[in-house]
Structure 1
Amino acid sequence: MKPGSEAASRPPSYPRALLVALGIAMVVIAIASVTLPFGSGPAALLLDHQPYSVFPYPLTIQNLTYLILAAGLADLYVRWQVARREQAFLRAKFLPEDATSVLQLHELGAIRRKVTDLYDGDHGFLPYLIDITIIQLQTSRSVDQAVAILTNSLELMSHRVDMRYQMVRYTAWLIPTIGFIGTIIGIAVALEFINPQKIDLAKVTGGLSVSFYTTLVALLVSVILVFIQHIVQKQEEIALNEAGQYCLKNLINRIYIPHKEDAAS
């Protein structure tokens, strides 16, 4: 395999993934609206498609929740593709991986040329770490300084990876918040139907069902989103840690820098 060929493609853009995810979500909502009978238990729970809904269908809390979930899943899909690309770099064999090879300074230039174009400001953990470590080795001829720059770079990149999930974390917070808003609206509407002289129990219970269903659906959707976020973020963090270990094992530990007296002799 040519180094970096498996990971040469760029990760998908979030706007495109978002449009696709929203389109799929709207199609699923439309199919569910047709297949689930109006006023049935599943339609009331999942879609708020019932006679006692306080929202004009399809502009319900449940459907809004699904669209927000789609936006969060689109972001996670992009992050998952990035994690796969980062893991592919680890299989590209940029550095010697056998038990006997030793690298010398004059060999590092060719290695650096292989990885220079494979990273940008956001993606390419391993190519970036190899490049910055080689630059430090070539300029300082110090393994200690190379280890220091590698360690500092790993810390900064780890913080950057964590920051990329801020929007997903906000989305996971937003979904149950919207569900609670639906709960408050549903309870308020149900209270309006309470007339001491003549209580319409059907309307009261219908309004309460709206309030409870919105919260239940929002909490379940939030749990799903947080679970997927945990899986995807773990994969990206593992890729970063393995990139650092790869550089330590196959670059730092293999480099041979002669002492001044050896070079003079």
Structure 2
Amino acid sequence: MPLTPSQRSTREWPLLVLAVLLIGVIVFPLWQNYAQEQTDTWLTWPPERWAKLLLGPEQIACYVCFVWSAFIFLGRFFETRRQRHAFSLGLLSTEEGTRILPEDARPLQRIVDQINTQYGPFILANMIRAGLSKLALSRSSLDVRETLKTQADVDLGRLISSMATMNYLAWAIPAIGFFGTVRGLAGSMTLAGQGGEQLRIATEHLTIAFDCTLVALGLSLIAMFMIHTLQREEESLVIDCQQFCLEHLVNRLYEPVLSAGGVGHGPGMLPGGMIAGSLPERGGR
């Protein structure tokens, strides 16, 4: 399905690279002059310190939630890519000049059902099937358009509601990290005001508190990026399905309207050039 320039999304990754280069040119000289000695302490950490940072009980719980959400993301992301394969299966003719009569609705619906059964299920196929079914019943392009809009809202709502688990996990990761933070601060406060070995233990509890927060927030950033990426892909899929149906179904519907003398006018046209469906309903007025 070709896109016009206004429909093409902004290329975000080149903009990210440009932003990184711009900030790097500004920040790197300043970092070399003022902050290099402070950041070098991270490079000299012993393995035991890295183990405490990454392998606490709260951190492991965060890893479980993050990997779970990553598996859900990958499954849904590849499913979205599979759904886009429907555009190339010939569900509707894309040849110029094609017209669809109300009498063609049932045969086309059977073809769509066969393809959907063999390769699907597809959101696009369900949307086309709903439109053709309405066309066979009402023989009105306006009703078909409204049915497609309703079906798209249903599909989009189903996709949004099925994101509940990922949204919960994205909330649970920082919550678990804050749980570790509270645990570390509580342990440190119980030893406040004491010296010697107790002071060292209190410092370790503070380390636990900040390590949990650091790991949890880092994983949360990645999880939220996955969620927003997936939402954009799924919403774009539904919008593209609507666009496909508009171009290859609604805009090609042929509604012959006979005049009083039995002479047919153009597709969707009434005598005098009025568009079919644009006149007010008669009766009782």
**1:1-265 matches, cutoff 5 A:** 40-48=48-56, 60-116=57-113, 118=116, 124-196=122-194, 198=196, 200-261=198-259, 264=262
Which deviates further from its counterpart, 92-101 or 213-222? 92-101
Task: Compute the displacement of 1:129 (Å).
Answer: 0.8
Task: Compute the displacement of 1:65 (Å).
Answer: 0.6
Secondary structure, aligned partner of 1:100: coil
Which deviates further from its counterpart, 104-113 or 172-181? 104-113
What letter corresponds to residue 209 of structure 2 in structure 1? S
72 and 197 in structure 1: CA distance in 2 versus 1, 3 angstrom threshold? closer
Q: Rg bigger for which structure?
A: 2
Task: Compute the displacement of 1:258 (Å).
Answer: 1.4
Deviations 1:35-75 (A, max 9, x none): xx986222121113xxxxxxxxxxx1111110011111122
Q: Give me the whole-angstrom Cα distance separating, in 1, the residues matched to 2:221 and 2:195.
A: 43
8 A contact 2:131–2:147 mirrored in 1? yes
Task: Compute the displacement of 1:253 (Å).
Answer: 0.7
**Percentage identity across aligned positions?**
26
Unaligned stretches of 5+ in structure 1?
A: 1-36, 49-59
Deviations 1:119-141 (A, max 9, x none): 7xx95211111101001111111
Task: Compute the displacement of 1:208 (Å).
Answer: 0.6
**TM-score when normalising by structure 2:** 0.70
Q: Give me the whole-angstrom Cα distance separating, in 1, the residues matched to 2:80 and 2:261.
A: 43
8 A contact 1:172–1:226 mirrored in 2? yes
262 and 240 in structure 1: CA distance in 2 versus 1, 3 angstrom threshold? farther
Task: Compute the displacement of 1:85 (Å).
Answer: 1.8
Secondary structure, aligned partner of 1:97: coil
8 A contact 1:82–1:123 mirrored in 2? no
Partner of 1:21: none
8 A contact 1:105–1:256 mirrored in 2? yes
Q: Give me the whole-angstrom Cα distance separating, in 2, the residues matched to 1:197 and 1:87.
A: 65
Q: Give me the whole-angstrom Cα distance separating, in 1, the residues matched to 2:69 and 2:91.
A: 34
Task: Compute the displacement of 1:264 (Å).
Answer: 5.0
Partner of 2:4: none
8 A contact 1:193–1:199 mirrored in 2? no
Task: Compute the displacement of 1:202 (Å).
Answer: 2.1
Task: Compute the displacement of 1:262 (Å).
Answer: 9.1
8 A contact 2:106–2:133 mirrored in 1? no
Secondary structure, aligned partner of 1:40: helix
Q: Give me the whole-angstrom Cα distance separating, in 1, the residues matched to 2:179 and 2:90.
A: 53
Deviations 1:73-105 (A, max 9, x none): 122122112211211112222111122222223
Deviations 1:198-224 (A, max 9, x none): 463321211111010001101110110
